Structure 1
């Protein structure tokens, strides 16, 4: 590796460490003030504080990495421009592409680390923080769960739910096993769905009811369009146990999406999140490309306050655009790949146009 490349990477690494640390500190401070009332109200222990905010760090890194890369590139090239180093490099015959190459390679490595962190560390971090906040502090009931499937005991019944949509007050693929004191099966209910209303509670839809004799033989089979069932759980209880897609690694999320698709369920949300997992990691590289022309356009006027303002402004516009596209994807207005990648495509085209304009 050439001396120039090492110098560029060392400067970029120092800037990235400072900006990532600053953004993470601000993020943690905001998170602390948002959650401290919950911890105080429910008498949280020091161990819960440390575990909650410690496992928040991987989530924070994944969230702030693109902005940190953008600001780091801006400040790195801005400092070279301000001290005349970039002019000296160009005078020695080095092109903008050659100068930027180490920074783009570093951004590519950060994108890779970003994906790996989101695939390996973030799922566990999200699980731990959710468990501390929803169950250890608030005391919501906890269900046995595998991926997005839930098992729980309800009086003399064991309930299995294949898919939970608590925002809609909807459960899909519900099976209820009613047993006697000896745990012999007396009745089984298979329902396509269960919908909650404040007036009627849970109502099973498109169900088949089987009754069993003491010997375990089916004595009656009955189909019904609907039937109320007294589940002592609210959508809020299911919300606390709902599987956040960030709790799954990429391979697990892909497997879940394929399985639910094969079983006839709508998996639009899962497919959007799959594409978004890749697209958001690629954002680190896209932001590095965008930071190069912005830093060069400011010339000797590049400084910390301006860099922060431009980076935050670009980040707000990007994330507003990306959130809008993702919402369109969830609603089925856009294909999942288009919803997840459109923000990166538009930002990449803008970066390419600015770089080509600057290189003239």
Structure 2
């Protein structure tokens, strides 16, 4: 790496870091004022304030990183253009490709970091922040972090659920094990599916087996078309019923969507979110690629405040287009892959067109 490239990268890193810190701070401040009434109403301890917002930081960083890369690239190149430093570099024989390479390489590295955040830290942080706000602050029942292969206990009943679909208010592949105080099996209930209706779980195609607690031998068996389950948990306890999957990683979404397809269920929402886990980090590269021609063409007559406004406007436009396309994917108007990746493709083509229009 040449001295000029190190100089460009150092400036870019400083601006991007400051921008990220500023955006994260603003996000936390707004979120604080939205949640503070709930914390005060339930007289939450001071450490819960800190823990709740600390666990949200990975999600905020992941969401703000593409915008900060856009802003960092725009302001760095824009500043050098306005002070004629970029002109001096190009007059000295340094081509545009060598000038922009550090930004694009850094954007690729940050894309990998963003994917790792979404895969490992964001799901855990979202689970923990939701748990603190829902359970420790509001005092509601604890939500289950997993959606498939669930094991839990209520009183003298053990539950195993192959797949939970809270947005559909359904459970698939249910087994109940009723035991005595010595954990001897008394009754086993198996059901293909259960639906939450009228504040209770109604199981379909049920098999009930009774066992002798001493000999553990089967004593009776019967089939039932419909049976009410003693399960006290609601769909909200298995995850948000709004259908959002922020607590799930790409790997988990892939497993769940595959299992749903195997059982003949509609896995569209999960497949859209699965592809979004891959496409969203790539927005870092797209934003850097898009900022380069904007900075080279527009920055000479742009001051700092206007530069920030332009960057934020581009970022908001990307977010609106991406959200719209994902909504179309949820409604099956677009295939999941197209819905997740179309925004990146559209803005990449816009950036390519502007870059080709820029004189070297």
TM-score (norm: length of structure 2)? 0.90
State how 1:303-342 maps to structure 2 within 5 Å.
303-342=303-342
Q: Distance in 1 between matches of 2:123 and 2:152?
A: 23
How big is the shift at 1:254?
Answer: 3.8
Q: Does 1:16 align with 2:16?
A: yes
CA deviations over 1:226-278 (Å, ceiling 9, x no partner): 22334333333333699974445544544454455555554433333332122
How big is the shift at 1:94?
Answer: 3.1
Find the counterpart in structure 1 of residue 72 from structure 2. Answer: 72
Q: Does 1:140 align with 2:135?
A: no
Contact 2:147 2:163 in 1 (8 A): no
State how 1:20-35 maps to structure 2 within 5 Å.
20-35=20-35
Closer/same/farther in 2, CA of residues 138 and 162 from structure 1, 3 Å limit: farther
Find the counterpart in structure 1 of residue 280 from structure 2. Answer: 280
Closer/same/farther in 2, CA of residues 167 and 257 from structure 1, 3 Å limit: closer
Q: Distance in 2 between matches of 1:277 and 1:234?
A: 28
Contact 2:167 2:241 in 1 (8 A): no
Find the counterpart in structure 1 of residue 211 from structure 2. Answer: 212
Contact 2:202 2:227 in 1 (8 A): yes
CA deviations over 1:308-341 (Å, ceiling 9, x no partner): 2222221222112212222233333333222211
232-241 or 324-333, which deviates more: 232-241
How big is the shift at 1:288?
Answer: 0.4
Find the counterpart in structure 2 of residue 170 from structure 1. Answer: 170
CA deviations over 1:198-241 (Å, ceiling 9, x no partner): 3x622112222223334333333333322233433333333369
TM-score (norm: length of structure 1)? 0.90
Find the counterpart in structure 2 of residue 202 from structure 1. Answer: 201
CA RMSD of aligned residues (A): 2.6
Contact 1:140 1:237 in 2 (8 A): no
Q: Does 1:359 align with 2:359?
A: yes
Aligned residues: 359
SS in 1 for 2:239: helix
189-198 or 227-236, which deviates more: 227-236
Segments of structure 2 that go 5 or more residues without pairing to the other structure are none
Q: Distance in 2 between matches of 1:23 and 1:344?
A: 22
Find the counterpart in structure 2 of residue 124 from structure 1. Answer: 124
SS in 2 for 1:7: helix
Contact 1:79 1:302 in 2 (8 A): no
How big is the shift at 1:160?
Answer: 2.2
